[in-house]
């Protein structure tokens, strides 16, 4: 057998046994605590030099291979020629800075003040020099390269009937003469016309028209504003009034026309009568009306809703109301006592006649309201009746009392609860466990894991032998 095959089989066997033992230790409850025999955590004491990519840097533990101290690049300043250099790992990162400085023209691009390289776009032409023109248009030339821009037509200015328009940009006269400017209106006493404001030529000669003459001024022409014609008549269109009369006046000069008394209309409690001819109010307001007053509220006007007038007198009830001392009539609206007075007793009326052995009873009634005011006993007619007064019946009586008895059922219920509580005591001895059985339970998974590992190692070795024999 070749040496590399033998070594490969030994490495596979060792690796399988190591994994099996590790799983066996984990299954038996072992951990990483050094006191329990576990593996110590790597302290990363042997680190490589800085490693990096375009965004971050790190070191690699040479014992466990884990990346530590991982962080993004930082520090340094990028220029247009060189990227920024990280102050921790000294590696370039990021992008180049843009070019700066220099001034571009229409002939050359700007040159970077740091690296001297041209960058950016050409500047636009400088058309700030003198404008050039001819009768057809005007244009500019670049002050650096003398390149002309596209010609533009003349614009601006106003042509008149005497002169052409002057270009507002270059000052060149261009185009044709303008039309007459008939902007001036002129007139005499009979007609008006338009005149050219430049050359004075007349146009549209017409007679005055429009406007309206009044009693104090002639008509004014709607077109030119000239006064023409004769004075007009008075305009009695203004109606005026006072408390008793109304009349018309001229709206222009104030001349007064015919005068008439107010008439028509109906006054109410909120508004005076309104004249049916001029609409002015006149006279006095009418009195409030409607509603019914009571002893607690005045009458309410059915027109304006205001309370008015006096309160009405009380309305006594037909029957008497009384107590032991007085009687009165009660107001049916506000319940006020009316005509209250003391009772007036009659001579008394025998209700029960006395006998030889029993007293009689006499009742006294108010002669006004009919209330029984008091009663009086009549002595019995026998000889023995003077020794004692008749007993009065009393409504008071002794009240009955009730007593309660005890409950013997409570003793039996308490004894039943005591007996039921004593029956629920658990057996503490049932939780004890055998230490040997517990240890055997922990070892069984370990043995199974080790056996599985040996079987897997045997399979791997068999596969390696098959491959080796086929290759031979």
Angle at 152 between CA 150 and CA 155, to 5 degrees: 170
Mean pLDDT, residues 91-119: 88
pLDDT in tens, 327-338: 999 999 999 999
Q: What is the pTM of this model?
A: 0.29
More confident residue, 144 or 336: 336
Residue 39 confidence class, pLDDT cut points 50, 70, 90: low
When mean pLDDT is compared over 173-177, 257-261, 377-381, 432-436, the highest value belongs to: 377-381
The structural domains of the chain, with segments of one domain joined by +, span 184-228, 321-380
CA 401 – CA 388 distance, rounded (Å): 34
What single DSSP character describes residue 464? H
Helix (H) or strand (E) holding 142: none
CA atoms of 241 and 276, how far apart (whole Å): 13
What pLDDT shows up at residue 383?
56
For 363, the enclosing helix (H) or strand (E) is strand 360-365
**What angle, rounded to 10 degrees, do the helices at 3-27 and 435-471 form?**
160
- Give 282's DSSP letter: E
Reported as a single tens digit per residue, the pLDDT across 266-285 is 889 899 999 988 889 998 88
CA-based diameter of the chain, in Å?
A: 167
- Whole-number CA gyration radius for the chain: 67
CB 5 within 8 A of CB 450: no
Tokens representing residue 311 in the block? 């309160």
Name residue, tokens 């205001």. 306
Q: How many CB atoms lie within 10 A of CB 31?
A: 12
The conformation of residue 64, written as its DSSP 8-state character, comes to T
Q: Residue 148 pLDDT > 90, yes or no?
A: no
Asked if 54 and 93 touch (Cβ cutoff 8 Å), the reply is yes
Q: Can you tell me which residue has the tokens 């007075």?
A: 341
């Amino acid at each position: 057998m070749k040496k590399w095959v033998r070594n490969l089989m030994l490495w596979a066997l060792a690796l399988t046994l190591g994994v099996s033992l590790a799983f066996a230790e984990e299954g038996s409850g072992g951990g990483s605590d050094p006191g329990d025999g576990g593996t110590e955590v790597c302290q990363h004491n042997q680190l490589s030099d800085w490693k990096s990519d375009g965004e971050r840097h790190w070191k690699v533990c040479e014992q466990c291979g884990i990346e530590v101290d991982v962080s993004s690049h930082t520090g340094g300043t990028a220029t247009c020629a060189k990227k920024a250099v990280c102050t921790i790992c000294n590696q370039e990162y990021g992008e180049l800075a843009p070019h700066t400085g220099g001034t571009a023209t229409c002939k050359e691009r700007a040159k970077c003040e740091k690296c001297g390289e041209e960058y950016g776009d050409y500047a636009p032409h400088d058309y700030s020099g003198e404008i050039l023109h001819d009768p057809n248009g005007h244009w500019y030339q670049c002050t650096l390269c003398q390149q002309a821009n596209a010609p533009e037509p003349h614009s601006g200015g106003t042509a008149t009937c005497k002169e052409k328009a002057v270009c507002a940009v270059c000052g060149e006269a261009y185009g044709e003469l303008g039309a007459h400017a008939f902007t001036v209106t002129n007139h005499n006493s009979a007609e008006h016309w338009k005149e050219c404001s430049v050359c004075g030529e007349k146009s549209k000669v017409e007679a005055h028209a429009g406007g309206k003459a009044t009693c104090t001024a002639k008509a004014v022409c709607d077109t030119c504003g000239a006064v023409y014609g004769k004075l007009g008549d008075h305009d009695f269109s203004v109606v005026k009034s006072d408390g008793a009369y109304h009349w018309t006046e001229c709206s222009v000069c104030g001349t007064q026309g015919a005068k008439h008394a107010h008439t028509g209309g109906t006054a109410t409690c909120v508004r005076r009568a309104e004249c049916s001819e001029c609409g002015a109010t006149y006279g006095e307001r009418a009195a409030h009306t409607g509603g019914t007053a009571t002893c607690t509220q005045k009458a309410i006007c059915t027109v304006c809703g205001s309370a008015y007038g006096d309160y009405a007198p009380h309305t006594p009830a037909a029957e008497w109301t009384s107590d032991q001392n007085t009687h009165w009539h009660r107001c049916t609206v506000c319940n006020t006592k009316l005509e209250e007075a003391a009772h007036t007793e009659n001579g008394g009326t025998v209700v029960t006649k006395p006998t030889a052995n029993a007293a009689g009873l006499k009742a006294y009634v108010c002669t006004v309201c009919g209330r029984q005011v008091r009663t009086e006993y009549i002595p019995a007619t026998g000889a023995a009746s003077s020794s004692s007064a008749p007993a009065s019946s009393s409504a008071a009586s002794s009240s009955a009392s009730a007593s309660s008895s005890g409950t013997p059922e409570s003793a039996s219920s308490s004894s039943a609860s005591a007996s039921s509580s004593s029956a629920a005591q658990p057996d503490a001895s049932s939780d004890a466990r055998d230490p040997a059985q517990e240890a055997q339970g922990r070892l069984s998974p370990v043995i199974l894991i080790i056996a599985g590992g040996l079987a897997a190692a045997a399979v791997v070795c068999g596969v390696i032998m098959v491959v080796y024999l086929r290759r031979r």
